[in-house]
Amino acid sequence: MQSILEGFAAAFRLIVTGNPELWRIILLSLQVSGTALILATVLGLPVGACLAMRRVPLRGLVISLLNTGMGLPPVAAGLFLYLFLSRSGPLGFMGLLYTPTAMIIAQCILAFPIVASLSHAAVANVDPVIRQAAITLGATPIQESLAVIKEARYSIMAGVMAGLGRVMAEVGAIIIVGGNIAGYTRVMTTTIALETDKGNFELAIALGIILLTISFSITVALRFFQRLGHTGTSANSWA
Amino acid sequence: MGLELEIVHVFRSYNGNRILRDCSFGFAKGRTYVLQGPNGSGKSTLFRALALLEKPDSGRVDYRDGGRILAADLELRRRITLVLPRTGIFNTTVFKNVAYGLKIRGIARAESEARVNDALLAVGLAHKKWHRAAELSSGETKRLGIARAMVINPEVLMLDEPTANIDPANTEIIEAIILKMKQERQATILMITHDPAQAERLGDDLLFMQDGKIIPA
């Protein structure tokens, strides 16, 4: 018990004093997960919206695959990506293994099905009369799709936040393709795993507290977007 | 202002049930037609075909401007509109709902704002301009739907039961708006109602729909 309390005290000291190693790890984590999430959203949102609004070949199969992908074990994703990126793999020539780029790809693979699947559900749940109203008011097919996506915006944001939660907490895939190299590919989750193994609890606890804070913030943001979805906006601006 | 339209031998079925059966009729430019008929007789299906929301299984819907048949493209769709029985309000303010049709047409902001303000004034919703549309009563929502259609100045305006399920006060306001539109604009107006007295008050021509066909009343 004494050592746990000491660990927490040391962890708070690290956070408060702005330990450079700690902040480098946090920044890299945010950079990797943020980029992965942006990519997953840019790819996943159109896929989800398209599945909900257009007649797509093998639509049922694609939706099932995306739903399955939501539960994709990170270590399995990491393993397959490792096989592709390793020197003997089909993408080995790109030299991406053990780089932050490989970690971004891994997290994007994990976040994509979540964003796409939840975007699909969000867009599919929009009342069909919204689309018809847009058409009767003279919308082009793109404007009509945008009107529907706009109606689903809060649920889509909730899906994006769920994707962020997934990638921020993930360790299995990035440790395989990133290698947990100090100062280069070491992020919060992989540092916690490593430092705990080594018995150095201060840094692990400090990062654990920050991860929990981020997790809590994501949950608060999720609730905010879900509530907005029910109550809408009262903005009195034109745009 | 105002287009002629004609439906020619239109058939439309849903799940094997034939709703429109060899339906043919010509609507003259600038007149107001009120369509009545029992539920399931095909009134809304006809309007959806006329509004180019759905293609008939067979037959055609022709819009004419000065005798010339217009292609059923975006340009034509932007000259006509249908106010749906369920308005389909966007989850935003009253103002933005009404401005939508102008925004997608690329109308300049100042002009849009003036036109939206005029439309909101006409339907008695100017004081609720910045309210969330979802907060409106059902009568106000119907008026919002009409304002959204009015603002784009359609040459053919179709209203599918614009006064269904609303109180007499709102019904009176909506009837006044339609009468004013008849007088001030030369649009061709088509309307569905179940109220024979209302049909008499508003219509130049009264039509009856039975078994998927239009019969002049």
For chain B, the domains span 4-216
Q: What is the pTM of this model?
A: 0.86
Nearest C-alpha neighbor of B169 from the set B147, B137, B191: B137
Question: Which residues on B lie below 8 Å from A143 (Cβ)?
Answer: 104
Q: Tell whether the model's pLDDT for residue A238 goes beyond 50.
A: no
Torsion, Cα of A118, A119, A120, A126 (10° steps): 110
Collapsing DSSP to helix, strand or coil, B33 comes out as strand
Confidence of residue A239 (pLDDT cuts 50, 70, 90): very low
Question: Which residues on B lie below 8 Å from A141 (Cβ)?
Answer: none
Percentage above 70 pLDDT, chain A: 95
ipTM of the complex: 0.94
Give the pair of three-digit tokens for residue A2. Answer: 């004494």
The C-alpha of B190 sits at a distance from chain A's nearest C-alpha, in angstroms, of 14
| Residues A33-72 pLDDT 10s | 999 999 999 999 999 999 999 988 999 999 999 999 999 9
Residue A7 identity (one-letter amino acid): G
| Residues B61-107 pLDDT 10s | 999 998 899 999 999 999 999 999 999 999 999 999 999 999 999 99
**Are A133 and B87 a contacting pair at CB < 8 A?**
yes
Cα gap A208→A201, rounded to integer Å: 10
Q: Tell whether the model's pLDDT for residue A109 goes beyond 90.
A: yes
Question: Which residues on B lie below 8 Å from A136 (Cβ)?
Answer: 51, 53, 81-84, 149
- A158's CB contacts (< 8 A; 6+ apart) are A118, A122, A222, A225, A226, A229
CATH classification number, B4-216, choose in 3.40.50.11610, 3.90.1150.10, 3.40.50.300, 3.40.710.10: 3.40.50.300
Cα gap B86→A52, rounded to integer Å: 21
| Residues B195-206 pLDDT 10s | 999 999 999 999
**Are B81 and A147 a contacting pair at CB < 8 A?**
no
**Are B93 and A134 a contacting pair at CB < 8 A?**
no
What DSSP character marks residue A162? H
**Are B104 and A139 a contacting pair at CB < 8 A?**
yes
The C-alpha of B77 sits at a distance from chain A's nearest C-alpha, in angstroms, of 6
Cα gap A209→A218, rounded to integer Å: 14
**Site of tokens 């339609």:** B178
**Are A138 and B130 a contacting pair at CB < 8 A?**
no
CA separation (Å) from B3 to B27, B69, B191? 9, 10, 15
**Are B86 and A147 a contacting pair at CB < 8 A?**
no
| Residues A10-36 pLDDT 10s | 888 888 888 888 899 999 999 999 999
User: How much is the pLDDT for A18?
Assistant: 81
Query: Which residues on neighbouring strands pair with residue B20, listed in sequence order?
Result: B12
**Are B93 and A233 a contacting pair at CB < 8 A?**
yes
Q: Would you say B26 and B37 are in contact if contact means Cβ atoms under 8 Å apart?
A: no
| Residues A159-181 pLDDT 10s | 999 999 999 999 999 999 999 99
Question: Which residues on A lie below 8 Å from B89 (Cβ)?
Answer: 133
